[in-house]
Amino acid sequence: MKRLLFLCTGNYYRSRYAELLFNALASMVRLSWRADSRGLDLSAGKNNVGPLSSFVADRLSRRGFGLVAPPRMPEQVSASDFAAADLVIALNEVEHRPMLVARFADWVHRVEYWHVHDADRVRPDEALSLIEREIERLLPRVKAQS
């Protein structure tokens, strides 16, 4: 099983949606990939309440992918998370590259960067739609690597 790691700042909203959606879709098409997600700076998520953004749970439910287990709390990324991953994707290059440079400089150039802004810059529907489009483009690529 190959491992994919999604990164965002607080591991509450964008990376969690990417993780959960990717895993649901990968399971449907029987990909031998499994996604996890982590945050680069959990302390920046001052407004994060509970384990998961309600926008994520609602969007997954509308797509027919309910949560199968109670969601876990956000988790901080560690060096071992990078080492275990076959592919690492940070959800917003402008926001996350500086965090990676400061905390995990050895990994900066091994990370793929998307351009999905947080809720302070775009409406949640826009951000989640962009994540969906990126994952739809990602699936055939990782399938070819299986």
Specify the CATH number for the domain of residue 28: 3.40.50.2300
Mean per-residue pLDDT for 111-132?
A: 94
The secondary element (H helix, E strand) that includes residue 8 is strand 2-8
User: Does the pLDDT at position 58 exceed 80?
Assistant: yes
Question: Residue 117 sits in which domain range?
Answer: 2-144
Mean per-residue pLDDT for 100-105?
A: 97
Residue 70: what pLDDT? 87
Q: How far apart are CA 137 and CA 29, in angstroms?
A: 14
Residue 74: what pLDDT? 96
Residue 108 near residue 100, CB atoms below 8 Å:
yes
* Token digits of residue 82: 């990078």
Could you give the angle at the alpha carbon of 18 between the alpha carbons of 54 and 106, nearest 5°? 125
User: Does the pLDDT at position 145 exceed 90?
Assistant: no
* Residue percentage of the chain with pLDDT more than 90: 86
pTM listed for this prediction: 0.96
Selection from 9, 116, 15, 92 nearest residue 56 by Cα? 15
* Residue percentage of the chain with pLDDT more than 70: 100
Q: How far apart are CA 5 and CA 86, in angstroms?
A: 8
Q: How many domains does the chain have?
A: 1
- Sign for the pseudo-dihedral over CA of 42, 67, 92, 33: positive
